[in-house]
Amino acid sequence: MKSLLTMEGVDRTTLDSLLDDADEFFEVIHRPIPKVPALRGKTVATMFFEPSTRTKLSFERAAKALSADTLSFSPGTSSLKKGESLKDTVLTVQAMGADLMVVRHTSTGAAWRVAEWTGLPVVNGGDGAHQHPTQALLDSLTLRQHFGALDGLRIAIVGDIRHSRVARSDVWAFTTLGAEVTLIAPPTLLPTDLSGWPVATSTDLDEVLSEFDAIYLLRVQAERGGASVFPSVAEYRQRFGMTDARFSRLKPDTIVLHPGPMIRGIEIDAGVADDPRCKVLEQVTNGVAVRMAVLFQLLGGTRDE
Amino acid sequence: MRAVMSGDDMARALRRIAHEVIEKNRGVADLIVVGIRTRGGPLADRLAALLTEIEGANVPSGIVDIGMYRDDIDKRPRIELGPTEVPEDIDGATIVLVDDVLYTGRTIRAALDALADMGRAAVVQLAVVVDRGHRELPIRADFVGKNLPTSSSEHVTVRVVEIDGEDGVWIEGPDDREDEV
C-alpha cells in the first residue's frame, strides 16, 4: 500500500493488518512514555484545506508518538489567501522535506491529485462528501475492541448519509470486515444512487431500532446543505435523533458511535452522549492508534513490495 | 543444512544458562526474563520455568516486540508488529533478555531501547542460544548456549518446539539456501 485514499476496495487482509498494528499502538499510547522511535527522521505534513479539530490533532499526535516531525498547514493563515494554488502549496511543502502528506479538502478527489503531483504517500483525511478512510478504521477498531470482531454484527448508520464521507468509508470497512450495514435516514438524506453499495436501507428508525448491535449516528452537516432538506431540527430529532427514550429501547448491549463533532439535542441527547455505551471518546483515542498504524505502514517497509 | 545443536543440546544449554544466571545474580530476586519476539518468547518462558524450578521462587517472563524500534524500517519489507507483554514493573528489576541468535547486535540494541521505554531496570543481561559473531555494535552476551563461528554468507536457524514443532540449531551455507524464502 503506497497511499490510503479510500476504503472502497481495501481488502480484508489489509484492514486486519492495520487494525492488528493499531492494537499494538493502542498499547503504546497508554504507556507512561507514550512514544516510540519508529519514524524518527520522517516528516508528516498535515495539509488541512478545510476546518478540522480532531482529525488534524489526531494525525499530529500519531506522528509525534512515532517520533516523526510534523509540518502543519492551515488555510486561514496561508498563502492560499494570496491566491496560491493547491498544487503549488503542496509542492512547496514537499520541497521543505515532507515524506508523507495528510490531505483534507472540500473537493472530492483532492488527495488523489496531491498523490499524483507529489509522488508521496498520501492519506486522505477527508475529501468533500466522498471518503474518510482513517475514520472508518478507527470506527472498526472501536467495534472490534468491544465485540471482538465485526463478523455478523448488525450496524445501523443513521442520519445525513448523503453528505457523509464517514458513511461512504464506514460502509466498505464494516462490510469487508463481515458486518451487515443498514443506512437509516429520511429519503432526502440518502444518496440518490445506492447501486453498488452493499447495504440495506430504511427510512424508519423506530421500526428497526432494536435489531442492531451498534448504532452509528452522523452529524447533520449544515455546511454541506444537510440542514436544508428536512423541515426542522426538532422534526429531525423526533424521527432520527438518538433520544433518551429511543436509547432505552435498544438492545441492552447495543453501543452508540458518533464521528464527532456531536451536536447534543439534535442527533444525540445529552444523556446518551454521556452514557458508557456511547463510545465517542474511545473512538477519539482509537483514532490516534489507527493513524499511527497507517503512518507506520506507509512510511515503513520498502516501497517496491 | 547442517545440524549444530540437537534438541537435547539446547535443553542442556538452557539449563546451564539458568545456573549461570543464578550464580551471577546470587539468586533470582527481582529477576524478570524477557524474550525478544518471536523465538526469544518461548525461550524466555522456558528459562524462567527453569529458574523457578531450581530456586523454588517464581520468576516471571515476558516478551518484547522490537518492530517499532528498528533502525531500518524503511529498508525492509513491511514489519509485522506483535504484542509486548512484560508482566511487572521493570523499574529496579534485573532483566535477562533472551534471543535465539546474537549476530549484528542491532536487534539487541532495539530491544534495549524498547526496555528503556518501559522503565529503568537496575541491570540488563543478555542470554542467547547461539552467538555467531559479526557484531556491528558494541554488544556482548552474558550467557551463551553455543559460540558458533560463521561466515556472513551462512545462515543460522534456531527452531523452537512451541513455534516450529522441534528444537535445534542448524547452519546452512549460501549454496543450500534454495528452500529459504
pLDDT tens-digit readout, A106-136: 999 999 999 999 999 999 999 999 999 999 9
Q: Hey, is B149 helix, strand or coil?
A: coil
Closest Cβ–Cβ partner in B83, B117, B119 for A36? B117
Calculate the dihedral angle through the C-alpha atoms of B108, B114, B116, B119, rounding to the nearest 10 degrees: -130
pLDDT score of B178: 52
How large is the average pLDDT for residues B2-6? Answer: 96
pLDDT tens-digit readout, B105-115: 999 999 999 99
Q: Hey, is A212 helix, strand or coil?
A: coil
Residue of B nearest to A65 (CA): B68
Q: Which of A92-101, A164-173, B77-86 is predicted least confidently? A: B77-86
Phi, psi dihedrals of residue A236, rounded to the nearest 5°: -60, -50
- Mean pLDDT for chain A overall: 93
Is the Cβ pair B74, A21 closer than 8 Å?
Answer: no
pLDDT score of A170: 98
Q: Hey, is A276 helix, strand or coil?
A: coil
Architecture of domain B7-68+83-149: 3-Layer(aba) Sandwich (3.40)
Question: B residues 114-143 near A, CB within 8 Å?
Answer: 117-119
Q: Is A180 on the interface with B (CB under 8 A)?
A: no
Do residues A46 and A71 lie in contact, with contact meaning Cβ atoms separated by under 8 Å? yes
This model of the complex carries an ipTM of 0.83
pLDDT score of A80 more than 80: no
Do residues B70 and B79 lie in contact, with contact meaning Cβ atoms separated by under 8 Å? yes
Q: How far is A192 from chain B (nearest CA, A)?
A: 40
Closest Cβ–Cβ partner in A35, A300, A305 for B73? A300
A40 CB-side CA count, 13 A: 9
pLDDT above 70 as % of chain A: 95
Is the Cβ pair B75, A24 closer than 8 Å?
Answer: no
How large is the average pLDDT for residues A155-175? Answer: 96
Q: How far is B91 from chain A (nearest CA, A)?
A: 12
Burial classification of residue A240, based on how many CB atoms lie within 10 Å of its CB (0-12 exposed, 13-18 middle, 19 or more buried):
buried
pLDDT band at A81 (very low <50, low <70, confident <90, very high): low
Phi, psi dihedrals of residue B2, rounded to the nearest 5°: -115, 130
Q: Which of A80-84, A94-98, B155-159 is predicted least confidently? A: A80-84
CA distance A157 to A168: 10
pLDDT score of B175: 67
A305 CB neighbours in chain B (<8 A) are 77-78
Do residues A184 and A216 lie in contact, with contact meaning Cβ atoms separated by under 8 Å? no
pLDDT score of B166: 97
pLDDT score of A302: 57
How large is the average pLDDT for residues B155-165? Answer: 96
pLDDT score of B181: 42
How large is the average pLDDT for residues B18-45? Answer: 97
For chain B, the domains span 7-68+83-149
pLDDT score of A86 more than 80: yes
Residue of A nearest to B77 (CA): A301
Edge-to-edge strand ranges of the sheet holding B168-172: B2-5, B168-172, B155-159
- Mean pLDDT for chain B overall: 93
Do residues A18 and A290 lie in contact, with contact meaning Cβ atoms separated by under 8 Å? yes
What are B39's strand-pairing partners?
none
pLDDT above 70 as % of chain B: 96
CA distance B102 to B98: 10
Q: Which domains does chain A have, with CATH numbers?
A: 12-132+284-299 (3.40.50.1370), 133-279 (3.40.50.1370)
pLDDT band at B5 (very low <50, low <70, confident <90, very high): very high
A300 CB neighbours in chain B (<8 A) are 73-74, 76, 78-79
